[in-house]
Each structure stands twice: as C-alpha cells, then as structure tokens.
Chains A and B, each alone.
Chain A
Amino acid sequence: MKSKSDEELIELIVQNHRPALEELYDRYVKLIYSFSIKITKGDKEKTKEIVQQVFLRLWTTKSTYNPSQGQFVNWLLTITRNISIDLIRKEQKYKGTVQLELEEWQQMQGLQADDVQQQVTRNLLKQQIQEAKRHLSEPQQRLINLLYWEGYSLSEIAELEQKPLGTIKSRLHQALKKLRNNFNGKIGGVRHGE
C-alpha cells in the first residue's frame, strides 16, 4: 500500500478496497484535519464530522476524481473546503448552497508538485502564502479571510463591510493579483504548474 501512488489507491477504492482508503487517510488526514480545524475555528466535533464526510465522499463518489486534471491533494482540499463551508453555512443558516466540488474541480488546474517532496512542499507553500498575505492591506486580508475561511459570499461581505458590491469585487481582484505576484516572486523559477 505504502508504495502505491494516490492514483493507484483511488483505483483500488473504486474496487471497494478498504486498505486503500485507510492508506489515503494516513497520508492526508493531517492536512485535512488541520484545514478543517482552522475553518471550524478549533471545533473538534465539527472537524471530526468534516473529516468523516470527506472520506465518505472519497469512498462513495469515486468517479469525480480524474488524475489527468491535476494533483490529488488539491482535489481533496477542494472537497474538504466545500464540505466545511456547507457545514458552516448550514449551522449559521445562511441561504444558498455551495456549488458542487466537481464544478470547481473542472476549473481547477492543479499543481504538479513532486510527490516525494510533498510534505516539504506543503510547508514551503504555507510559508509562501503567509508571506504573500503580509503584503495585503488590512481590508484585503479581511476579505480573503471572510471569503475563503468563513464561507461568506461577496454580497454578504459587502454588507458586513458596508461597501458597494463593486468595491468588494475589485478589492478581491486586487488582493488575488497581489497574492499571486508576491507568491510568484518568492518562488521564483520553480513556479508551480509551469
């Protein structure tokens, strides 16, 4: 099991091979758990619920992962974020539903990170993103936080910030561009996906 690639494990899961799911759990639970505990602000019960749902989805909706479209871990994180935000919104009784991960997945062109270096890469990425975030203005940081981690929609954020929706939209655009520029600058020649 340990020597198998993520794609091979997914293949085995399609054939209802339980040890393959357990192997994927061992590989990614820390990432999923860390992500979920952040998005739930440290709520261990909700985090457990999210992790359970993520692995249930892995076990039941096997066909949605297509290796040709990108790296498995990004797909996994996209699912995790969707499930988390779905849960958060349900609990906060927000209106509107979260789009299927498939849709988002289809837009996604994942990173081609080196499998061997995954853990290292992850830590590196974390440092890079945190560094890049420092270049954002206070309102830009707040926007990214509300949007990405709290699951608010842009119009809800416009309401919270008491700003026109157009302002929030362009603030988002500026924020993402600034993140991207600082991110690329730091990584330099080893930019992912190229």
Chain B
Amino acid sequence: MGNKCDNLSLYIINELTNHDKKQFEDHLLKCAKCQQELKSIQETWQMLSYDVEETEVPESLKSQVMDFVFEENKFLKHEEKIEAEPISFKERILSVAKRHFSPISTAVTAILIICLIGFYWNSLQLKDTIKSLENKAADPTQIVTTYSLTGQSLAASATGSAYLLQEGTETSLVIALNNMPITKGNEVYQVWLLKNGNRQSAGTLIPDQNGSGLITYRLPPEYSFEDIGITLEPNPFNTQPQGQKVLGT
C-alpha cells in the first residue's frame, strides 16, 4: 500500500504510465489518505502557475492574436462566402491553390506528375515494342527451305520451285510450276510428299493455258518429308500415285 501512495505526486504531475495510472486510480478508490492528499496537492501544483510577475501586454498583441485565430479558421467560412466575394477567377484559383498546396505538398504533387508523365511515356514505349513484336510474330512468313523441281519424261521441259514457308507455328508448302503440258479430260497433276518410301498426297492442280500452276499445301503439325514428287494422274482423287512421275526434287 505504501508504495502506491508514493505514486500520488507522479499521478498529479501526469508522469505515470497508463498502466501505473490505472493502478493508482484503483488504489485511490480504497485509500482515504490519498483521496484527501490528492485534492490539496493537486491544488498546490496548480497554484504554481500564479508564481509569475505581472507583465504588461503589448497593445498590438490583441490584433495579432485575433488575426491568427480567424485567419486559421478562415477557410471554412471563406468557402461558403466565395460566391459572394467579387474576386476574379484567377485570384480564386490562386487562393485555392495556395490554401491546398503547402510547399511540401506542391513538391510531392510535382514529383507525382513527373512520375505520371514518366509512366505514360514508358507505357507508350512499351506499346510500341509490343506492337513491333506482334508485327514480327504476325507477318513473317519465313522461307525455311527451297526446292527446285526438274521435269522428266513427258514434262521434260517443265520447271518448278517449292518453298517451305514457316508462318508462326504453321508450315506450308508452296509449289510453283512452269511449262507444264496441258492436262486433258480428268487429268490432274498431283503432288506427293515422300518420307521413308511412303507417299502422301499434298493436293492436285491443273495448270493454266501457259502451263503455269501454283499450289499451296498446309502441312500437318510436326510433319516432315524428304522429297517432293509430282505425277500426272488420270483422275483427281487418288490416294496413291497411278500415273507417271513428271517432276521431282
């Protein structure tokens, strides 16, 4: 108990921690002596404020204090009155800016604006980069391999070129032929892709009157072949060559 009574002075000068303060207040409820002491010592503590020499107050202080108090409170009222006051638009903007932007907040705002411009510029750059990447990805049909085809037997004078084109993940075979003998009736030229002795049809074509023809064939994914052969087929829907070979790599 004795120890707790010792905290009376600290309680009065407000130097107890929250915890100790709470404890002392609990103690105070039970301790008649502290209750009695509290009041008189508290009064004594407050009496210290009267230990001052009376000093003359400068005349000008009142207006300085009142100006300060009412300047500090001005905005609220100013905001209400703003419409009634005949101040120019520019002044109004300036005063609003002054009020809302301290030097620090101005600096912060400026930095934010600079960052914002930076980000915008950066995103423009990024957009360009992405666009160019997209273009690169989209256009570039790249020729992966070129084959030249030479004619034989009845199409000995025929020539041709084949291109393996890579377009994204897809691969196409384009074959251009010249000086092909004109087909008759149901006859078609059929393209075969050879791999390990197996032949797979890669489409048929009928050359124009000048003996020129073009065929595009989209290869199945992951498909590869070793040679290209072209035969003259008596009808267009053969799955295995029937007629004789007229061109090949």
Seen from chain A, the residues whose Cβ lies within 8 Å of a Cβ on chain B are 18, 21-22, 25-26, 29-31, 33-35, 37-38, 44, 48, 51-52, 55-56, 59-60, 74, 77-78, 80-81, 99, 103-104, 107-111, 122, 125-126, 128-130, 132-133, 144, 147-148, 153-154, 169-170, 172-173, 176-177, 179-180, 183-184, 192-193
Contact = CB atoms under 8 A, between A and B. Distances in A.
B122 to A, nearest CB: 42
16 contacts: A18-B66, A25-B66, A29-B65, A30-B54, A30-B55, A33-B61, A34-B53, A34-B55, A38-B52, A48-B65, A55-B65, A107-B14, A169-B6, A173-B6, A179-B44, A180-B44
B121 interface: no
A29 B51 contact: no
Contact of A125 (B47, B53, B65, B69): B47
B14 A183 contact: no
Interface string B1-44: 00000101111111100000000000000000000000111111
Contacts of A108: 42, 46
B40 A129 contact: no
Contacts of A176: 9, 12, 41, 44-45
A126 B44 contact: no
Contacts of B6: 169-170, 173
B53 A55 contact: no
Nearest to A18: B70
A29 B45 contact: no
A49 to B, nearest CB: 9
A147 B9 contact: no
B105 interface: no
Contacts of B14: 99, 103-104, 107
Contacts, number: 126
What size tier do the contact residues of chain B reach? 35 or more
Contacts of B42: 107-109
Contacts of B65: 25, 29, 48, 51-52, 55
B62 interface: yes
A172 B58 CA distance: 36
A63 B110 CA distance: 39
A183 B46 contact: no
Contacts of A51: 61, 65
A153 B15 contact: yes
B52 A173 contact: no
B72 A38 contact: no
A48 B70 contact: no
A172 B49 contact: no
